[in-house]
Structure 1
């Protein structure tokens, strides 16, 4: 069931009563669950998620409900804190978890998971995204100063990100020697560099190490589909690459010079979380 509704409060309304009155097809229990999972937005500058059912509303305030029973019932594995640097932290985002929520909720998002982990005692700023189907390292900031400094590094391409992917087929010698794909995407130049980690002759699949020189949307997935070697388990790009294990794309390391500590840092996924066991 999907329900999308915009409601305007009269004087003296509280959130759950307003929702219950105007959305009779959903029980109060379901509405409270939707609120707790971030599916109710309160108008204002900025707009925010309203989670507390008994919140008193001022006349004229608007609530937006985006209820999707299927989405609200979904679950995924927990994120894992890899390194806490106080002003920023590095997390393992599992496959199936969003980097951040949307109007339909945020209970399956890394940002919400981090907020709850720190018991809302720290701000959480998302600095970059990782596709929902992918897993791996994501950097979060906890102060505006850290967010600005680290965002500047990202914009200047000064954070080195390494990925592992498993693709369909065996890459030709000429493609391996070339070692990069420079196909423009969305009318913009971009470059993906790679090298072979291992070829599985039995499965006819190749493990590759990837370095993104640019960061266009779905760049790795689109580049390797165009090269004739789609990423295994990709639900959107490629043919003949279905895999019940899911998308074989993982962000495995982040390396940069920390602008706060003024020293080189490197964060790597522990062997227990790596998809490519050959690196364990």
Structure 2
């Protein structure tokens, strides 16, 4: 069962979110509260600002729009769990499971990495995403929670060339990969460099398993570079081919090494 509806709050309608939904949507109050909590209800205010509406007792006003996206099958899924490996306050290190999307959709965000981080930090910390990390990938992910920490970590995870930090990935690609060693490729935003090694080649289904160590660290570097080399990462919806038929993105960050900006201790996560 799916519901995709946009309702405008009119004079005489209940001015409490959950009461308005109960009056207008043919779902129980329990299911509606669950939908709100999981991010499938949106509020568009009088200034046309759009945000998820989670709190059942939120006041709503005449002229605002309430958007409802209900997918019974989606909501029945058991959410994946991201593991917090290290919490330094100013930054955190996570293990993101395979299949967990980075962001939510209109239909909810309860299974997303962004929501997992928000819940774990009680929504009290800002999140700064570091360019070299491909946050669509599974595995080790590092987030900064202050501008200072983001700046200090970016000095090590410099997009122009990692300095004292190590970032290694493993991925499955289409075809028999033959570009081992340090590989430099010209992309739209400049030249990128990655050190590739082939773990194995499987003739059926014609795929290679690679290890990749970043030398530079541009946005989505590994996926973009491998696509340019005509060895797209399996399951890559952004830069690959026939991603819908391939299933999950086969890219995982398997090792991160850097110096803690506060204690100056060398940290390794794998």
Following superposition, the deviation at residue 15 of structure 1 comes to 0.3
Alignment RMSD: 3.6
SS at match of 2:256: strand
TM norm structure 2: 0.75
SS at match of 2:254: strand
- Listed one character per residue, the Cα deviations across residues 220-248 of structure 1 (whole Å, up to 9, x for unaligned) are 2343244343334546624699767x432
Residues 10 and 113 (structure 1 numbering): CA distance in 2 closer, same or farther, change over 3 Å?
farther
> Higher strand share goes to which structure?
2
Partner of 1:193: 194
SS at match of 1:55: coil
Following superposition, the deviation at residue 154 of structure 1 comes to 5.5
Gaps of 5+ in 2: none
**C-alpha contact 1:165 1:209 (8 A) present in aligned 2:** yes
Following superposition, the deviation at residue 73 of structure 1 comes to 3.2
Partner of 1:263: 264
Residues 63 and 240 (structure 1 numbering): CA distance in 2 closer, same or farther, change over 3 Å?
closer
Following superposition, the deviation at residue 25 of structure 1 comes to 3.9
Alignment size in residue pairs: 258
C-alpha distance in 2, partners of 1:151/1:15? Answer: 42
**C-alpha contact 2:194 2:222 (8 A) present in aligned 1:** no
Establish whether residue 64 from structure 1 lines up as the match of residue 67 from structure 2.
yes
Partner of 2:180: 176
Moved more, 148-157 or 66-75: 148-157
C-alpha distance in 2, partners of 1:124/1:74? Answer: 28
Partner of 1:272: none
Residues 190 and 109 (structure 1 numbering): CA distance in 2 closer, same or farther, change over 3 Å?
farther
TM norm structure 1: 0.72
Establish whether residue 167 from structure 1 lines up as the match of residue 170 from structure 2.
no
Residues 67 and 149 (structure 1 numbering): CA distance in 2 closer, same or farther, change over 3 Å?
farther
